[in-house]
Chain A
Amino acid sequence: MKSSFLAGGGLMISFSWLPELALANDTIAPEGWAELTGYIKISPDNTIKIINPNPEFGQNLMTSLPMIVAEELDVDWKNVIVEMGPHDNVKLGPQFTGGSNSVRMYWKPLRDAGAAARQMLMQAAAETWNVPLEEVTTKEGMVIHEKSGKSGKYGDFATKASGLPIPKGVKLKDVKNFKIVRHSKKNVEGSKIVTGKPLFGLDYTHEGMLIAMIHHPPGFGMKFTSFDASEALKMPGIKDVFSIKLYEDGYEQAGFDTRSFNDLLVVVGKTTWDVMNARKKLVVKWEPAGDTKDYAGGRNGKREVIVPGELETTSTQLEKMQEYAKKPAQQLRKDGDPEAAFKNAAQIIERTYNAPFLAHNCMEPINFFAHVTSEKALMVGPQQGPGWSEPSLSKLLNLPADKIEIQMTRMGGGFGRRAYGHSHFEAALISKKVNAPIKLVYTREDDMTYGIYRPMYTATYRAALDANKNLIGFHVKGGGIPEHAIHANRFPAGAVDNYLAEGWSIPSNITIGAFRAPRSNFNAAAEQSFLDELAEIMGKDPIEFRLELLKRAKEKPVGKNNEYDADRYAGVLNLIKEKSGWGKPENKKYHRGVAAYFCHNSYAAHVVDMVVKNGKPYVERVISAMDCGIVVNPDAAANMVQGAVIDGIGNAFYGKLSHKDGVPEQNNFNRYRMIRHSEAPKKVEVYFVENDIDPTGLGEPPFPPVFGAVANALYKSTNKRHYNQPFLGEPLQLNNTNKKTF
């Protein structure tokens, strides 16, 4: 916690995440706003402005994070207005939206901020009234001294309060007494959204702004050798056509500096339409880039990475994965003696699962505004982690970080895609080159073919059963392009005596990155399908089978570092069992599939109820059970779970990004199939386990088990197990052995 006096009145206080650093922002609160902590401003008329630290891409944190502050501050939610904060990691914390971390990371700091500010207001009133602080209390934006009958608005004391030192360790409310948190509040930006106000990066405009587009190579592993822009330059509205190099040779890439292509052709013009048209007139020669060198940064220092130059094709990638799957792999975890268990098994069940690359397909295509001069840079746009792109911008522009102002717009979807900074850097370098404010716009085709995709995955699961059909050994070996998805310490690790997890990967020039619940989104499909099939072979109910394993994991856990809490895991399964009427005759009309998964510190289970509609499998109803601790904004949380379910069904049924000679075969929604209105379930019932555990993640955890539940319902519906995604449409074709091999 830091505090410092400022000239001109008032005290700025901040809960610093970097306690030894000075305040980054020493501006004075405007228009009579008194600032109490970096998150709260109070006006004389008692309007409470709460600053949301984290960029919003649909999780509703513009509403839910300020609710946490308002709760401890003790204000009437009706008097609260919310403002998106500036990028300021010292004052406002990590400001990263991703990894289902926002509520979890900010829970304590925001409660502390609200409670400290409330205490300061009480102290200011106590001093004004000359009464002991202990006798002062608050009620919904009012400070009250009952004994003397005195009361006043927070606004009356805010200026005085802002001059007080920040109290430390102020007692927080008992969670049982919450009046705002745990009570549904409407999206604070709802009205702006439904009336079409300029909220998004693509809506941003600036005086003298030009539009820029990048013409990137048509395929991964390609580069341009020459280009002729003479016709493009003659097109109306066109200002310039040139090439830029994103990273100079030897540039050390930070974790989120991932980029697909380094040499980029740029067209800059007046309007989007002008630039789109001029691009068509470019004459470009492309060729395979061959193997290239990248330099990755990180904890272990600068590391050379060879990016293979092969122009990849999906069928070849599949063959290669099969080949690699047979090779020895890296051991990730071993408990007991799995080799002996499989050797002595009466029955071995082996199944292989495959899934393709997926494109994020955020509804708002990638874009970013930049205005770079020799002294400073203004960057505005959709991004999940401004704190990660700032150091890279500083290096690339050769500007000190404090000369780079980053503003966060609402994002038309993120799903991991906007954690990557390349579009910010591209925009900045283009602005610098043309010496003008520019907005870089990706067309949908650019967005889909310049992907930081969900990787392509495979995993082979094996189970060893004894003569009495007891599970005596479990083995998973997973691989992928360019990474595997295995979480070795997750369920059913800890529940089986003899356990082995292995992983391998194949390098590729196809760029990959975080995609809603990275790795988990494949694991939950494969593992949960396998457990379902296993339960059937063992003659057990799929929920009871999981509960038995969890009981074992709780009572006599195998091995160390089990990531999950077996009780909470069982909790969502018990809740889904109850709420779905599992095994009840009235649900016989459905082909039902169940799955559960743990990730991002939360637990999720779904029952998918499938029917046949127009001759095709259709998920008519889904029942979901979640344990994410305290639910801050219940209706908004339910919305997010419903969305994750629908997104999951869509991706499980249709999601696929394939390649031919490096070129993505899908470049727009006419080829990339997304779930549509009539394919969404009629009903998604969402239930939360009620407990007082500090909140954990919610944006990601409900997503992965949808894939498994859908696969298991499809089996009931079609009498056929589905091992290859996408399940409908054109699944990946692989010679899937799926049989006992020894």
Chain B
Amino acid sequence: MINLNINQKNYELDVDPDMPLLWVLRDVLGLVGTKYGCGVAQCGACTVHLNGDAVRSCVTKASRAVGKKVVTIEGLSENGDHPLQKAWLEVDVPQCGYCQTGQIMSAAVLLRENKNPTDEDIERSMEGNLCRCGTYLRIHKAIQLAAEMQRNG
């Protein structure tokens, strides 16, 4: 049995402590907004927040999350209205959409720590998130827009 706090809810789960958080979220809890893309921390589709840090849940053992707060895309905002989510819709970023929740979760950490990110800051923070459809331009623009929305409250 391990105890996990996910999106401000406590769960007591009978899972292998070595099971990556990704599969706990997807297969055990049905929180499928966190995506499987590579399993080796190369694509960023599985990005979640662990105590506020962006981590790749595909290589993060469930045991590592014990006693910490996990936030997934489902818990990023109450009504899907995080500035990034709003900006993503405004810029109409997605094509296939598969990588986008991971992109948003990576960007959310950047924006929390850096209210006014430069192009280079965005590039550095987003380098680990792949998009085969090639929406990087719009992702970049949406992050800038969200930062602006955040600054203007």
Contact = CB atoms under 8 A, between A and B. Distances in A.
B97 A677 contact: no
B42 A413 contact: no
A410 B36 contact: no
B134 interface: yes
A195 B80 contact: yes
Given A635-B92, A646-B135, 10 more contacts: A56-B96, A191-B80, A196-B34, A272-B27, A273-B20, A410-B96, A639-B95, A639-B135, A642-B138, A678-B127
B54 interface: no
Contacts of B26: 203, 272
Contacts of A674: 130, 132
B101 A669 contact: no
A669 B45 CA distance: 12
Range for the number of chain B residues in contact with chain A:
35 or more
Contacts of B30: 205
Q: A interface, by DSSP: helix, strand, loop or mixed?
A: loop
B65 interface: no
Q: B interface, by DSSP: helix, strand, loop or mixed?
A: loop
Q: Which 8 A-B pairs have the closest CB atoms?
A: A196-B33, A412-B98, A646-B134, A58-B96, A58-B95, A643-B134, A680-B136, A196-B73
Interface stretch (A151-159, A304-312, A359-367, A558-566): A359-367
A215 to B, nearest CB: 16
A684 interface: yes
Contacts of B134: 642-647, 650, 675, 680
Contacts of B43: 363, 444, 669
B89 A60 contact: no
A411 B152 CA distance: 36
Contacts of A677: 122-123, 126-127, 129, 136, 139-140
Q: Among A58, A273, A646, find the residue whose CB has the most chain B CB atoms closer than 10 A.
A: A273
Given A364-B96, A643-B134, A273 B40 contact: no
B132 A196 contact: no
Nearest to B34: A196
B117 interface: no
Interface in A337-391: 361-365
B27 A676 contact: no
A191 B89 contact: yes
Interface in B1-60: 16, 19-20, 23, 26-28, 30-40, 42-43, 45
A196 B101 contact: yes
B92 A186 contact: yes
Interface residues of A, number: 65
Given A636-B92, A646-B136, A193 B97 contact: yes
A67 interface: no
Contacts of B130: 363, 669, 674, 676
A194 B95 contact: no
Interface of B: 16, 19-20, 23, 26-28, 30-40, 42-43, 45, 72-74, 80, 84-85, 88-89, 92, 94-101, 104, 119, 122-124, 126-127, 129-140
Contacts of A650: 134
Given A58-B97, A194-B80, A411-B96, A202 B36 contact: yes
Interface in A533-555: none
A168 interface: no
Contacts of A643: 95, 133-135
A197 interface: yes
A186 B95 contact: no
A415 B137 contact: no
B92 A193 contact: no
Contacts of A411: 96
B59 to A, nearest CB: 12
B132 A363 contact: yes
A202 B35 contact: yes
B74 A196 contact: yes
Contacts of B16: 236, 273
Contact of B133 (A186, A272, A413, A444): A413
Contacts of A196: 31-34, 72-74, 101
B129 A412 contact: no
Contacts of B73: 194-196
B107 to A, nearest CB: 10
Contacts of A200: 32, 35, 98
A683 B119 CA distance: 12
Contacts of B133: 58, 363, 413, 643, 647
B95 A60 contact: yes
A271 interface: yes
